[in-house]
Structure 1
Amino acid sequence: MSVPAVTPLYLVDERALEGIGLSASQRRWAEANGFSGQRGKLLALPDEEGAVSAYLFGTGAEADRSPFIAGLAASALPAGEYRLAGATGDVTTAAIAFRLGAYRFDRYRKSKPGPVLVLSGEADADEVERQVTAASLARDLINTPAGDLGPDALHAFVEAFAAERGMAFSAIVGDALLEQNFPMIHAVGRASAQAPRLLDLRWGDETHPKVTLVGKGVTFDTGGLDIKSAAGMLTMKKDMGGAANVLGLAHTIVSAGLPVRLRVLLPVVENAIAGNSFRPGDILRSRLGLTVEIGNTDAEGRLILADALALADEEEPEVLLDMATLTGAARVALGPELPAFYATDDAWAAETVAAGLAAEDPLWRMPLYAPYDGQLASKIADINNTGAGGFAGSVTAALFLRRFVSRAKAWMHFDIFAWAPEARPARPVGATDQAIRAVYGALKQRFG
């Protein structure tokens, strides 16, 4: 059947077919095919010659409708150009959802052409492009296997990313980390054939409020000498998901021209196994001067973040945040769809949660519960990198990181998963963005 150049896609609330302006024959066709707006049901509408004139997509009950339901429609549609109609809700949000639902990772195989959205004049085209680019950038990086995105390749990508956006870029690589006092980043990454490094990006007017983002960049995590199981390593290409999402967030800030002085710090390593791997029981000295006993080499992300956070904290930023695929404990507590986050500032926390809910990017604030700090005690060092007893693993990881932040006016830590094990609206299976829209919305509200 032929399809018109731009096909209308009607989003239809359950039992609200009459309200979208269909002809009598189109309504009869929908009813004959059992379509009443059921969530996720797609139906082609024929014209009088039998060609597809439009599609109907059920959004379910209005009270339960996701603002990103258009993303679910995009994942079901054939190739072609579409415009949104019907119960779209906010048109900019619906457009973002559609385009994120149409996301494909096709670096290694040819994908069938997907649906393309033609924006209406009511949508904010710049905002759609900004947020879709940010999310797609993060997804592409996380989906790329570590064989093609080790520390060297990620370094090259970030340097190009900075140049394209007019950001200053510098890097500290290999033994220079020791010379410039980043011993834990060096220790975690020294066993890899590709040197560890700290990537540093800067942008914006020096007189504007300082906003610093830190992203965990472990390009692959074997677990080190406390080696993961085979199953545990299957998705460890995503262990740089914190860095990927921080880059997506940085894109939104720069693209929107927010009046902030932005700094991005990415400690980038591969946690590999070799004769010079750091070991359980080793004592590492941190940039801050604290000594850290290694209780487990698979708790490496907090070590590299600690050195980067200590550097960031020296500038006393207005807001300092980090993102990391840090603990399985957060997934056990909240599942893959709801990232845990921790905050030292109640106002920032509330604004970020509210912005996330508005942008279909939910977060759940967890407590920096001080009594659990004792679980990080060591008999021979200032602190251990793992909590004793195995309880509250995400909380103790956050408390570990908090030891390295004291000057920032506000600090937030995001323990994200960066992976969608099941498809949901605007999030196909595989790598996914998390916390970008929430934090961008809060920053835009505060500084925009």
Structure 2
Amino acid sequence: MPRIDLRGKTPTVAGLRAVLPRGGVDVDSVLPTVRPIVDAIAERGTEAALEFGERFDGLRPAAVRVPAASLTAALATLDPAVRAALEVAIERTRAVHGDQRRTDTTTTLGPGATVTERWVPVDRVGLYVPGGNAVYPSSVVMNVVPAQIAGVESLVIASPPQSDPDGPFHGLPHPTILAAAELLGVDEVWAVGGAQGVALLAYGGTDTDGAELAPVDMITGPGNIYVTAAKRICRSQVGIDSEAGPTEIAVLADHSADAVHVAADLISQAEHDEMAASVLVTTSPDLADATDVELAAQLATTVHRERVTTALTGRQSAIVLVDDIDTGIRVVNAYAAEHLEIQTVDAAAVAGRIRSAGAIFVGAFSPVSLGDYCAGSNHVLPTAGCARHSSGLSVQTFLRGIHVVNYGEAALKDVAEHVIALANAENLPAHGEAVRRRFGGPERSDAGIG
């Protein structure tokens, strides 16, 4: 892996952001390609979505909505070991996210003066599940569970149709995706992917049998650059969770870390994508050398060796050498990784000093792959440094806070002069008049009450 030597240096935050490895994708570059797709689906609905799907995927399903029988069949034929693993993932994810549900709160500001904050779920959500280099039933779990706990009543999963010419799932999303949906009780799944899938979720349409494909209010879930571009374009129509970029792992480690573990974890994220970022920040040159040796050894038996090698040697990946853990903490806070592992002496204390990360994995036995599946945490996390200001997917993603203001006559009169004063200060006198006219008195809103 490339190396960046920061020993003996004290770079500023801006300097760190400039020197640290970062890949990412240029979403702007594909907007001219994606916008006509979105516009066509906004105008012509399902027919346009099916046309684009046939052009890009070589498949045109008989219908967009997957039959209920196909969901049942997918679960019935699911490998028992995979089903058991999904059930554990669902159980643990529900336990963690169940504690996130907010309750309504009422603040009393005086007699007859209250403001209540109500937490109301989004009505209908579209959950996008990609189907490129890998199959992601775990993404079904991570998107569906918090939405269900938030109280979202209408959920639809969109995922690309797969080619299975001699099997029962030809033209349908991958059967493992369908099985996960069935396990979670999601009965609406659309066989449409890519930018056209996102646009159809946003604008809706009519299925080939004449049934409505209702548009959603919000779209969540990861995808490739074209999916991300479509989400950006559709933000004027629906809410989105984020613009997810290639996955990232950063490992902050000292001499106590095991190079075998570090190398395995760097490879595990590089397995996702040639643009995936793997970064090791360490105080130990010996660990850096040992990690390079282990990477070479483990790559020899890695299934996706070519993809992983491209990711590990790309400009988005590096080993960063620092003088001490304090500097290492500054580096990883500036980097703001999607996934951050802490493999140091007293890892829990070090983790407590991290301010910017999508998720933090503490100690030698909390690898990122645990969080991908069975930790109970959510693996839909901010990328490209967005962890400095944004959170991962949670129950809160699907809730809206609505303030309910309830003032009686005396309570309004108590603050009326202040409202009028501020309205006049902002040269919006009609705002003050809206209060004054409730109490009669002089015509001028700056003349007082009563």
Q: Indicate the structure whose relative CO is greater, using CA pairs within 8 Å and at least 6 residues apart.
A: 2
TM-score computed with the length of structure 1 as normaliser: 0.20
Structure showing greater radius of gyration is 2
TM-score, structure 2 normalization: 0.20
- Greater share of strand: 1
